[in-house]
Amino acid sequence: MTGDDYLDVLNHARANGYAIPAVNCTMSPIINACLEAAKKANAPMIIQFSNGGGAYMAGKGLKNEADQKAAVMGCVAGALHVRALAEFYGVPVILHTDHCSKALLPWFDGLLEANEEYFAKHGEPLFSSHMLDLSEESIEENMEISAKYLKRMAAINCFLEVEIGITGGEEDGVDNSDVAPEDLYSKPEEIYQVYEALQPIAPDFYSIAAAFGNVHGVYSPGNVKLTPKILANAQKFVKEKTGGDSDKPVYFVFHGGSGSSREEIREAVGYGVIKMNIDTDTQWSFWDGVKNDEAKNNAYLQGQIGNPEGAEKPNKKYYDPRAWIRSAEQATCDRLLAAYEDLNATNALR
């Protein structure tokens, strides 16, 4: 889903009080587990690639040089896989890419070139949206660069996600595990600054990953406290400043949701979160599926021939990747069905 169709999905989510899971995918089994979960849950799905995920999709035998070509090509390959299958699964799928810092802008430029090429042929971009994460720069520079890119993206109906403030923890090589706690909470004024910078360029064609005590990854509880109320206060502030009708003038994105309770997630959704990223929890579910498969079939996985049923018995059906990777897919699908519940999105398309 791209352009206005994508906005329709987001507005359906906001109006009906649910959010869409956005899953970091690094290989086709994870993509297919996402599509399977979306079909079972009868709900939309956001499939996203990180820079490292894209490079992995392209194959680790290729070096991802400074031009980021391998990461670009891997993301394009993943997107084409999704496009070939999504309609067949019969669920709305949104294609997105994750965090892009200033150093990775060549990756972003490459993705936009792929979108522009696709748009010229098909009248829509290859990806529904992309994230630009310049939260390590000043908010002025963040907005200046984001506005420039949004202008280019709006011309091909591509949506932009930006980040302000700092998401704690560590993900894909960005380590924020030692920042000062006060920097982990966005101020309403900062969120309004984003609105002021981007709304005139492409109304409602952007979302904001704000900091409300969210942390990438799963950690034992520290001194950072998830505070969804920050999002409610920001919505109120923007509404007052603009004098608009909507109680939720901003689309919020929830990064670092792993380990949050259903209650906390639903509170954030109530304040206008329309997308929640999932990475760590599906990395675990995928591994957990393999782990349990190996434990169950251990005696059949020690050699190509020979198991408790006989020294001559073949083990092909146990070590075939389709067997144990299928267990990983099923465990991941189950984890995503729980995420749909957390996000109040089960059966969202009924």
* Residue 350 CB, nearest approach to Zn ion (Å): 30
* Residue 202 CB, nearest approach to Zn ion (Å): 22
Residue with smaller CB distance to Zn ion, 14 or 255: 255
HSE of 333 in the Cβ direction (CA atoms, 13 Å)? 17
Verify whether residue 288 is a known catalytic residue.
Answer: no
Rule CB under 5 A: is residue 255 a binding residue for Zn ion? yes
CA angle 342, 9, 338 (to 5 degrees): 15
* Residue 313 CB, nearest approach to Zn ion (Å): 47
In terms of Cα–Cα distance, which of 350, 301, 347 is closest to 324? 301
- Say how far apart CA 31 and CA 92 lie, in whole Å: 14
Per CB under 5 A, the segment of 25-33, 59-67, 217-225, 252-260 that binds Zn ion is 252-260
Residue with smaller CB distance to Zn ion, 255 or 335: 255
- CB of 164 closer than 8 Å to CB of 192: no
Residue with smaller CB distance to Zn ion, 255 or 266: 255
Rule CB under 5 A: is residue 248 a binding residue for Zn ion? no
- What is the tally of helices (H) and strands (E) in the chain? 12, 13
H or E element that contains 314: strand 310-314
> Which positions ≥6 away from 84 have C-beta within 8 Å?
none
How many amino acids of this chain bind Zn ion (CB under 5 A)? 1
Residues 305-344 that bind Zn ion (CB under 5 A): none
Residues 140-159 that bind Zn ion (CB under 5 A): none
Residue with smaller CB distance to Zn ion, 130 or 324: 130
At 201, list the tokens: 């360029």
Residues 8-37 that bind Zn ion (CB under 5 A): none
* Residue 131 CB, nearest approach to Zn ion (Å): 8
* Residue 216 CB, nearest approach to Zn ion (Å): 6
Of all residues in the shown chain, the one whose CB is closest to Zn ion is 255
* Residue 139 CB, nearest approach to Zn ion (Å): 18
Rule CB under 5 A: is residue 96 a binding residue for Zn ion? no
Site map (CB under 5 A) of Zn ion, residues 199-238, x = contact: ----------------------------------------
In terms of Cα–Cα distance, which of 53, 98, 57, 101 is closest to 81? 57
Per CB under 5 A, the segment of 16-24, 27-35, 86-94, 247-255 that binds Zn ion is 247-255
Neighbour tally for 114: CB within 10 Å: 19
At 217, list the tokens: 């990854």
Residue with smaller CB distance to Zn ion, 51 or 157: 51
* Residue 168 CB, nearest approach to Zn ion (Å): 10
Residue with smaller CB distance to Zn ion, 248 or 255: 255
* Active-site hit among 8, 67, 98, 279: 98
In terms of Cα–Cα distance, which of 252, 289, 223, 230 is closest to 33? 289
Residue with smaller CB distance to Zn ion, 38 or 100: 100
Helix (H/G/I), strand (E/B), else coil: 236: helix
How does 220-259 read in b/e, with b if 16+ C-beta sit within 10 Å?
Answer: eeeebebbbebbbbbbebbbeeeeeeeebbbbbbbbbbbb
Per CB under 5 A, the segment of 177-185, 219-227, 253-261, 317-325 that binds Zn ion is 253-261
- Say how far apart CA 51 and CA 108 lie, in whole Å: 9
DSSP 30-52: HHHHHHHHHHHHTS-EEEEE-HH
Which residues of the chain form contacts with Zn ion (CB under 5 A)?
255
Q: Which residues are catalytic?
A: 98
